[in-house]
Amino acid sequence: MRKHSAVWLFVCISLIVFLFVLSSCSNITSFFMCSNGHTIEEVLAKDSTCSEHGLSHAWRCSVCDKYFEDEEGKIEISYSSLVIPAKGHTPVTDYAVEPTCIVEGRTEGSHCSVCGEIITKQEVVPAFGHVPVVDAAYPPTFDTIGKTEGSHCSRCGATIVPQVDIPALGAQGSTNLSFIENNSGYSVTGIGTCTDTNIVIPSIYNGKTVTRIDNSAFINCLGFTSISIPDTITSIGEFAFSGCSNLKSINIPESVTKIESGAFRGCSSLTSIELPSGITKIYPSTFQLCAGLTEIVIPDKVTVIDSYAFSDCVGLVSIDIPNSVTKIGARVFAGCSNIKELIIPRTVQSIGNGAFFGCAMLQKIEIPSGIKYLDNNLFNGCSGINELIIPTSVTSIGKSVFEGCNKLTTLTYYGTKAQWLLISVGDYWRINSAITYVECKNGRLTVKGGLYD
């Protein structure tokens, strides 16, 4: 009996020792195999990202799952010591956009400037919808056109139901204008011997539709102050009303889909103009030198605002550029010395030479993230700018871009100092400016001459 007890005691003690040894190993295989050396494999280093941890270089035993500093498996380290923490996002504000009557707005959000991941999603703010006000009809007289009933929005001023001209009873439009036949009817080619101060272009001439106002048709005509265009017109030619400095009022019907270069150049008495919604491009010099223009609405189908389109429009204080625009041409707003507020939408991919040359009242501007090149003289003479934000997409800065920006002491750059130093800069890029610092996301660079410290 005592012999059996001793045997059982020996078995129990042996089992306990075995279980103790086994508990110190990850599994049975490692207990037997790693006693003769580890089975080492390389653990490659992995950089951390904004949201994922990285890992330092090490060596690992594929049997016991232990980690080592050396390939021989002699210096053991913990897995936690290899982990490189995620860097975390670098948030950039996506500014809120106020809704209008017809265009949805956006709440403020944010995204990471490094990886682009959305941090705070921008939510859609519904458009307000128009608030209609009736525009009363009035009948024509012998020499005055009438109007049908229409309506407009009291909030934004947009036409809801357009009023249609009713020809004067004594004449179907102004007489003695000049015309030429075209493929679709007739084009107005000039004022002819007409002496009207309020020009009414007829919709019909010689039994055919009048469809176009031809190139230079009314160039430098000073004798009229208003002009009424019928809804049969589909295009207005180059310099059609250029130099008509006494023109104060013009209606452009929705039927017009193209207004060509210089059409209203130098119409210095025009204070406002409403463009038809079908316009997709604003051609070069269309409103150049319209010094009295204080208000214009750019339709939301426009994709290109071409060179000099609004240059020297000194009466403009602000202008809304729709999200449809992808290109702003050379000197588009050059000489618009009273513009204080201008937001460039993110859709814009290129901005031409001197686009904001001499916009002395402009105070703040953010360059869209798609822009790669800041063209020559882009902000030359913008003496009022005190804040300017440059995205990481910019790779080159042209000549004299910030010349005369004497209130701009610091450029804000969304990239790192190293990224900024890779940007090529043209001659005199900051001549006669106050630029002293470039504020990068990882610190500030001080500009000294053409160098940095």
pLDDT in tens, 27-38: 444 445 577 788
List pLDDT tens digits, range 194-241. Answer: 999 999 999 889 889 999 999 999 999 999 999 999 999 999 999 999
Q: 99 near 105, Cβ under 8 Å?
A: yes
What are the extents of the domains in the chain?
A: 31-84, 91-125
- What string of DSSP letters covers 341-400? EEE--TT--EE-TTTTTT-TT--EEE--TT--EE-TTTTTT-TT--EEEE-TT--EE-TT
Show the beta-strand stretches assigned E in 73-215. 76-77, 83-84, 91-94, 105-106, 109-112, 118-120, 124-125, 132-135, 146-147, 150-153, 159-161, 165-166, 178-182, 185-190, 198-200, 204-205, 208-213
7-11, 62-66, 294-298: range with lowest mean pLDDT: 7-11
CA 186 to chain centre: 40
**pLDDT for the residue 80:** 87
**Beta-bridge partners for 200:** 228
> Which value, in Å, is the radius of gyration of the alpha carbons in the chain?
36
- At position 72, the amino acid (one-letter code) is E
In percent, the amount of the chain with pLDDT more than 70 equals 89
pLDDT of res. 19: 53
* Mean pLDDT within 157-186: 84
17 pLDDT band, cuts 50/70/90, is low
> Which of 43-52, 244-253, 267-276 shows the lowest per-residue confidence on average (mean pLDDT)?
43-52
Mean pLDDT of the chain: 89
pTM of the model: 0.62
Model pLDDT, residue 433: 95
Q: Give pLDDT tens digits for 384-415.
A: 999 999 999 999 999 999 999 999 999 999 99
Rounded to whole angstroms, the maximal C-alpha distance in the chain is 142
